[in-house]
Structure 1
Amino acid sequence: MLNIPVDLIDDDRLSHVLNASERLARAASVDEVVSVLRDTARATVGAEGVAVIIENEGRCAYVAEDAVSPLWQGQSFPADHCISGWSMRHRETVAIRDVRLDPRIPQDAYAPTFVRSLVMVPIGRPVPIAALGAYWSDVSDHDPDTIKRLESLARLATIAIENARLTQARNRGEALGATQNRILELAVAQTPLDLTLDAIVHEVQMLSPSGLRGSILLLDETSEHLEYCAGPTLPDAFKAAVTGLGVAAQVRHQDAETAMADITNDAHWAAFRDLALQQRLHVCWSTPICSAQGVLLGAFVLYHHELRKPLAADIEIIDFVVQTVGLVVHRARADSAIRISEARLRLAVDHADVGFWDVDFVQNTLVWPSQTKAMFGISPDVPVTLQDFYDGLHPEDREATIEAFTAAVDPERRALYEVDYRTIGREDGIVRWVAAKGRGVFDAAGLCLRVTGTVVEITARKAAEEKLRELNASLEERIAQAIAEREEAQKALRQSQKMEAMGQLTGGVAHDFNNLLTPIVGTLDMLQRRGVGGEREQRLIGGAMQSAERARTLVQRLLAFARRQPLQTAPVDVAKLISDMADLVASTTGPQIKVVVDAPANLPAAIADQNQLEMALLNLSVNARDAMLAGGTMRISASTASVGEGHRSKLAPGEYLCLSVADTGTGMDAATLARAVEPFFSTKGVGKGTGLGLSMVHGLASQLNGALTIQSSPGLGTNVELWLPRSMSEPAATLRIAEAPEPQLTHAIALLVDDEELVRASTAYMLAELGYRVIEAASGEEAMQLMATGEPFDLLVTDHLMPGINGTDLARVVRTSRPGTAILLVSGYAEREGLDPDLPRLTKPFRKNELAASLSRLRGESRDEH
């Protein structure tokens, strides 16, 4: 019996109230409660229309027939657009005199009805679960007694609706639970798959409140054809039609949730329309059956002979069946017994990276699997309590974690429990980061029964995040460093390009200088040998020849810097070379400078050109001397060294020989050091140096596949290192060739080819003095014409670099057409490409005796061949 509110006992309609109280106490469903409310409200307040509205997920649904509008029965509307929704949301009774003038009611909301005034009372305290509405056709002011009676009736309805819901849930739960248990028993029983599925269909049909009949359509493993159809109630013709079309297309058109279709009026089932009408099959529910991995296994189809809507209980049955059948089919195909599913689940949980937890406030227990215990440093077999959770929290994270847990169990907030915190292992003391997530479970009164969720260890992720924060913090510094490195690389590139351009320029200049010096040196040599003029004239000629020789040395240095000088590389005994030059260096530097030589006798040989290496050592010694104007010490040393990655020489890894010249002079600052190897750059002052000494050594090192390194600081002196490739061969004994006497006169004919007229004239004069009759040609083409006319000659003397046919190509033609003709190639070495290494060569500029020596060697080679 329900408790009757006092404000209804004094009413003259007490009999209606008592009757309503008894009926509500016996009501077993919400529909019965609604019917009682409708009858009682009309009798006690004289309402012309009564409705009960229930809100669910933001929508208001009219669940009882009333005189307002039959069209509203069973429909739902957004709660924000309904006065019932406003009443429930604000938990207030609403009394409206005229619905057409109230701003809370949408315009024309009650236009299709007779309603002009209403009273809307929320049902349920403190949170409304429904609303009771009373309607009148006239505009009227509602007296307080009417409102009070409706509110009292709503209080009766609150208790009745809750009781009816509990009764329905209990009855449905008991029936559903019994069926679910029976289905589970069938699933784990040792029964063939077809018998199991037939039994499950039978259980579903026995429980369905709507009287739905069903079938399980099972697809083959390819999900393309019907493999089996369980359920004898499905007509054979219908089965055949489904088999012909296959259910895959129909199932794939459905979402993961249950979908309803009227077979007689749905495009997906158009092929079955005639058969459905014949069999009186109107409603079909088609739900995909999938495995745990999401693989499509088939469909669960329910139908009825009448057009009606399935109830919520049918949906629960369908959801449970499709999950169970999916498990049964999957396990059957995998040839695994359903009976070991629990063991497999436990094994999966034991080996998963995700742990779970369950705090049960009713039983006052804490459930942790081994994974969760491991995150708190607790052994799997050790029992745990909620206190173990609090004790395992890191002190810095305890407050925030407890606050998040409190918010999750608070019935007002019911917040999602989602927090990252650190744990300190109880047994191992290890600090771990974990991420926990969960929700509270509440009863109808708002009491939190339990909180369940998952926990994942995120120590590695937190470490990565910390590293990322550190990287971001140092981002500006790293960007500045990268920009500096890029600028340094660009600076080095510009310097390299600058040096390359200067090398090309100096190579070309050196070639022109050779052509200019050749007639100068030749003429001065002739004047000096003939003793032209008196003593004064001979002294001037000697000075001019000395200047010409200095110019010749300058050109050689330019060619060395440009890496275009011809080198005669061979194994060189560097230790002996240094020892032999020690006296020369000492006499050059003067008495104020102490020269120390450190060159072990057992050093291996280096691959170099001995003459060029001697010149390089002399240049370095002169530079060291000039840096010690007040005296000091010069140390010349040689040693072997192993070069690896990142070495200051930037050479490829390997064994090298290092020749070093160090001084205790003034040293160089960074700006001077950066330009030290530039040609013509000098700190000695105007007229005191060419600025080509270090440039020549640098070019020589590069040409020998070595390197030049300079270490210097102001006031601390300079150390210049020449790195040379180590030779695996022993150096040959040095041969000292005495200067050959001038050869006897010859009466041979020489063809002289050179495009420079002065060079050609000077060379022709030297040849004439040596007894040759000279035939001159200004180009290779002119020489070819002379050959074509049959002009005889015994010797070809030709320049290499000429317009048109160069000297090397001309020599090849002569060698082919006139075998046995002696050939001498004269070159300024501006271009080494295209030179034939087998052709004898003479370097410009040259004297008469140098030309004579070259021709003498030619005659000797010719005699050897014969």
Structure 2
Amino acid sequence: MSGDRTKTSAIEDSRFRLLIDAVVDYAIYMIDPDGIITSWNAGARRFKGYEEAEILGEHFSRFYTETDRHAGLPQRALDTARNEGRFEGEGWRVRKDGTHFWSHVVIDPILDASGVLLGYAKITRDLTDRKMAEETLKQSEQQFRLLVQSVTDYAIYMLDASGRLTNWNLGAQRIKGYRPEEVIGQHFSIFYTPDDREAGEPQRALETAAREGRFENKAWRLRKDGTQFFAHVVVDPIWGETGMLLGFAKITRDITEVTQAQHALEQTREALFQAQKMQAIGQLSGGIAHDFNNLLTVILGNLEIVRKRVGEDPKIVRLLENATQGAMRGVSLTQRMLAFARRQELKTEAVEIPALIQGITGLLRSSLGPAVKLQTRFAADLEPAAADVNQLELAVLNLATNARDAMPDGGKIVIGARTEEISDPAKSSLPPGRYVCLSVVDNGTGMDAATLASATDPFFTTKGVGKGTGLGLSMVHGFIAQLGGRFILKSEKGVGTTAELWMPVATPGSLAKPAINVPSMAPVPGLCVLVVDDDSLVLTSTSLLLEDLGHRVISAVSGAQALEVFGKSPAIDLVITDMAMPHMNGAQLAQAIRGIKPQVPIILATGYAERLEGFVTELPRLSKPFTQLHLVEIIAQAMK
């Protein structure tokens, strides 16, 4: 019977040995109480590299690194197994070829029935791949943590599922002003404004992120010191492998400066668009006014000649006078259009603003009526402005009348002036220099933003059909701009309006040359006058006026024709030429004539102010529309 048991035990031992030896993913072997290896399986051979014949009888400490052997780790592992019944741990081990692998080790003591230590069973598993993956992940996490921490332009931090902060990077500290210990554990709603908190914006952001997978917004946020900044915010949910919401990743960027710069850029673009629009309309208005002046020159010239040649029939005289008054209204309209287009003739001089306002106070009071109170406030150190007196008076009257119309139940108008130095062009639309600011302030109905934006556009009016040309403020705008200043209009609905005329301080270089006063005199007949104009109607009208004065007229419809005629007619005493002509303008024609006959007098006729250079700036100017008297005076000036 004992023999059978012995045979059965041997069979079981053989089977167990076959089982152990078949395991290739684990190194399973036995060591005696002193640590000498007594068995070796296929798994140990596979990843430690030793054949059974090479390793049996060797001490198991050879698998440890030299450092671990010097530290006594092999013996400590055996002592722990013996004293505690088991040793388990992880560490680097050494293969036969000297390479290292990361192992998970379990050592169990083997005791006989009486408790005597027979040796140890040792199981080792190669976890190098897992260890390297862990190290790579650890390194990646560390690099990511360093990356996030080093970002200073973005506030990057995590929230738990309830919205409380769990970490805090340097960017968050820089932008929001809190140190990590001050803010970790706090609810992220502390960064919202009180109004947003009351409106439930923090919770809405988290709910939106969880529901839609992302929340993005731009809004005002609070720093630790209470100041606000404009933020671009992104919130992303973080989900666990089981689908549970773990928290949120939140990125905030301070875009205050970017937004302000964008706003400034948009304002600049809008100002540029407005300037381009006004320039285009100004060119159109100037061109219309020029053509209209030509027509008025013809109409007034012919009316003047007819008036001289008809009898004293009261009915005919009345018709002619009525037609003349209508034409003069047209002259007034073209002057306004030219003022807006910055093409009117200006006579700049040093203007004392208090004296100018004092001079028109009576007219102002009678125009404003008893329900409007007029006050003046002038700085004691006020300097004279470089302006055209007549045009400035018209501008003030225009602004005061507009102010009166904005106060149907009466009110107060304050006219004031001060001198200011503009040194920083970035803070003003004016070039650097000294300026006189003349202001007209009322406490009337004011204008809303849309009306204010269009107030200086030509032909824009709020006075109703037939109650205004819509050129008043545009005329003021153009006039002040032509002086080199700015017209600034400020208004608020229900509060009132402030109109500011910024004009350069008068300096010797900013003033017009004194005009030459020529006394009225009878026309001197007998001149041979070359008249040049591309408009045949103006050409005919001017010729008739000159012939009526007793002059002989030679006409030309272009600069080229005029030069041809001038070369063939040495008896020409005077040239009157239009400025705006195609191919060769009046200034170019004058230059060519001077090259042929320097001493011949030349008069430039123009429908609006034009930039001239060289000697032509000294030539007499005849503004359209003109009368026969104007011709007499300008010819006398030219022939002097």
- Give per-residue Cα distances to partners, 1:102-131, cap 9 Å, x unaligned: xxxxxxxxxxxxxxxxxxxxx993126999
- Superposed, which structure 2 residues align to 1:306-705 within 5 Å? 475=253, 478=256, 487-530=266-309, 532=311, 534-599=313-378, 603-643=382-422, 645=424, 650-705=429-484
Q: TM-score, normalised by structure 2?
A: 0.61
Q: Aligned AA for 1:60?
A: K
Unaligned runs of 5+ residues in structure 2 are 1-30, 65-80, 94-109, 123-166, 170-178, 183-222, 234-251
Mapped contact 2:168–2:180 kept (Cα < 8 A): no
CA distance in 2, matches of 1:419, 1:781: 82
Match of 1:450 in 2: none
- Give per-residue Cα distances to partners, 1:701-739, cap 9 Å, x unaligned: 222221112232334332211111112459999999988
Counterpart of 2:392 in 1: which secondary structure? helix
After superposition, the Cα gap between the structure-2 partners of 1:629 and 1:469, relative to the gap in structure 1 and judged at 3 Å, is: closer
Superposed displacement of residue 824, structure 1: 0.2
After superposition, the Cα gap between the structure-2 partners of 1:511 and 1:735, relative to the gap in structure 1 and judged at 3 Å, is: closer
After superposition, the Cα gap between the structure-2 partners of 1:148 and 1:475, relative to the gap in structure 1 and judged at 3 Å, is: closer
Which of 86, 92, 96 is residue 125 of structure 1 equivalent to?
Answer: 86
Superposed displacement of residue 823, structure 1: 0.4
Superposed displacement of residue 694, structure 1: 0.8
Superposed displacement of residue 552, structure 1: 1.3
After superposition, the Cα gap between the structure-2 partners of 1:611 and 1:419, relative to the gap in structure 1 and judged at 3 Å, is: closer
CA distance in 2, matches of 1:734, 1:586: 34
Superposed displacement of residue 433, structure 1: 7.5
After superposition, the Cα gap between the structure-2 partners of 1:763 and 1:126, relative to the gap in structure 1 and judged at 3 Å, is: same
After superposition, the Cα gap between the structure-2 partners of 1:839 and 1:53, relative to the gap in structure 1 and judged at 3 Å, is: same
Counterpart of 1:744 in 2: which secondary structure? coil
Q: Which has the higher contact order (CA 8 A, sep 6+)?
A: 2
More moved, 475-484 vs 653-662: 475-484
After superposition, the Cα gap between the structure-2 partners of 1:482 and 1:784, relative to the gap in structure 1 and judged at 3 Å, is: closer
Counterpart of 2:278 in 1: which secondary structure? helix
Superposed displacement of residue 779, structure 1: 0.8
Q: Aligned AA for 1:540?
A: L
Superposed displacement of residue 754, structure 1: 0.6
Mapped contact 1:767–1:774 kept (Cα < 8 A): yes
Mapped contact 2:230–2:255 kept (Cα < 8 A): no
Mapped contact 1:582–1:597 kept (Cα < 8 A): no
Mapped contact 1:517–1:548 kept (Cα < 8 A): yes
- Give per-residue Cα distances to partners, 1:358-399, cap 9 Å, x unaligned: xxxxxxxxxxxxxxxxxxxxxxxxxxxxxxxxxxxxxxxxxx
Mapped contact 2:347–2:512 kept (Cα < 8 A): no
Match of 1:65 in 2: 53
CA distance in 2, matches of 1:154, 1:789: 143
Counterpart of 1:563 in 2: which secondary structure? coil
- Give per-residue Cα distances to partners, 1:261-315, cap 9 Å, x unaligned: xxxxxxxxxxxxxxxxxxxxxxxxxxxxxxxxxxxxxxxxxxxxxxxxxxxxxxx
Match of 1:849 in 2: 629
CA distance in 2, matches of 1:501, 1:711: 24
Match of 1:707 in 2: 486
1:810 aligned to 2:589?
Answer: yes
CA distance in 1, matches of 2:90, 2:298: 120
CA distance in 1, matches of 2:89, 2:581: 110
Superposed displacement of residue 556, structure 1: 1.6
- Give per-residue Cα distances to partners, 1:4-28, cap 9 Å, x unaligned: xxxxxxxxxxxxxxxxxxxxxxxxx
- Superposed, which structure 2 residues align to 1:167-316 within 5 Å? none
Mapped contact 1:516–1:759 kept (Cα < 8 A): yes
Superposed displacement of residue 157, structure 1: 5.8
Query: Which structure has the larger Rg over C-alpha atoms?
Result: 1
Superposed displacement of residue 750, structure 1: 0.4
Match of 1:382 in 2: none
Counterpart of 1:635 in 2: which secondary structure? strand
Identical aligned residues as a percent: 40
Superposed displacement of residue 675, structure 1: 0.9
Give the total of aligned pairs. 467
Counterpart of 1:62 in 2: which secondary structure? coil
1:820 aligned to 2:599?
Answer: yes
Superposed displacement of residue 843, structure 1: 1.1
Mapped contact 1:660–1:722 kept (Cα < 8 A): yes
Match of 2:525 in 1: 746
Q: Aligned AA for 1:498?
A: K
CA distance in 2, matches of 1:643, 1:470: 31
Which of 620, 624, 634 is residue 840 of structure 1 equivalent to?
Answer: 620
Q: Aligned AA for 1:749?
A: C
RMSD, aligned α-carbons = 5.0
CA distance in 1, matches of 2:604, 2:120: 124
CA distance in 2, matches of 1:481, 1:816: 59
Which of 497, 512, 518 is residue 718 of structure 1 equivalent to?
Answer: 497
Q: Aligned AA for 2:624?
A: K
After superposition, the Cα gap between the structure-2 partners of 1:151 and 1:733, relative to the gap in structure 1 and judged at 3 Å, is: same
- Give per-residue Cα distances to partners, 1:441-472, cap 9 Å, x unaligned: xxxxxxxxxxxxxxxxxxxxxx99x9999966
Match of 1:248 in 2: none
CA distance in 2, matches of 1:794, 1:719: 55
After superposition, the Cα gap between the structure-2 partners of 1:771 and 1:598, relative to the gap in structure 1 and judged at 3 Å, is: farther
Q: Aligned AA for 1:850?
A: H
CA distance in 2, matches of 1:824, 1:769: 19
Match of 1:334 in 2: none
